[in-house]
Amino acid sequence: MSLKFLRLTNHPFKKWVLLVSMAALLNPLSVTQAQSTEITAKDTNSPAKLLVLGDSLSAAYGMAVEQGWVALLSQKLHPSITIVNASISGETSSGGKNRLPALLKQHQPNWLILELGANDALRGQSLRSLRKNLTTIIEQGQQAGAEVLLLGIRLPTNYGPAYDEALSQLYQDLADRYQLLFDPFFLAELALDPQWIQADGLHPNAQAQPKILQRLWPRIQMLIGKDLLAP
């Protein structure tokens, strides 16, 4: 564990980041342990698919799968859409990049929600490498015919303003370059408030999941199109 984690103050967001970073370092799931969760479409005549590629923040960590924001999303979409949640706790952009070709081949998604990078940044990994990995994921997704929604993250000031600014700009640059739908920090309303965090102090709780979806919903509507919302 990097010494920089020991310099965190008592600010609640910094405590949250410290705990999440420790969880990512100490308890990652291996790729061989991961299984994509598929919410099957009711209407098999229109096999449209939405692929979610993320880490524990999208993997319903610490709760039943059906309580996570990805599963809740299925209730708001047309029954002809299948959601494939390929998120893994502890996942990095490198891991996501390595898994993506097989996921694209197997599921042929129409849309891709990309939620990766938190574990890279919390481990102090190169932002150049993060940019390269996310670029590859976006380009491969688009080349496969999927429209992409990019979810960004932010880090506290103990990492230094230059690092946080560079991280934020990285996501914005990718969103601009590839003309993506984009949320700069989809946990902005939750990270500072312990009522939305699980007892382990690590992850948003089940009560927070509808709030995550509420924030993302306008962008998902634009991604999917209003004709494919739940009747």
Active-site residue (options: 21, 55, 58, 203):
203
Distance in angstroms (rounded) separating the CA atoms of residues 16 and 23? 11
Active-site residue (options: 21, 55, 56, 87):
56
DSSP symbols for 155-205: --GGG-HHHHHHHHHHHHHHHHHTT-EEES-TTTTTTT-GGGB-TTSSSB-
Distance in angstroms (rounded) separating the CA atoms of residues 104 and 155? 30
**Helices marked H in 31-126 — which ranges?**
69-74, 93-107, 118-122
Distance in angstroms (rounded) separating the CA atoms of residues 113 and 115? 6
Do 186 and 212 meet the contact criterion of CB atoms below 8 Å apart? yes
Q: Which has the closest alpha carbon to 137: 208, 118, 162, 129?
A: 129
Per DSSP, what are the bridge partners of residue 182?
150
Computed from CA positions of residues 190, 173, 222, 51, in that sequence, does the dihedral angle turn out positive or negative?
Answer: negative
Distance in angstroms (rounded) separating the CA atoms of residues 196 and 190? 6
Active-site residue (options: 43, 176, 193, 200):
200
Annotated catalytic residue 56: yes
Annotated catalytic residue 183: no
What residues are labeled active site?
A: 56, 200, 203
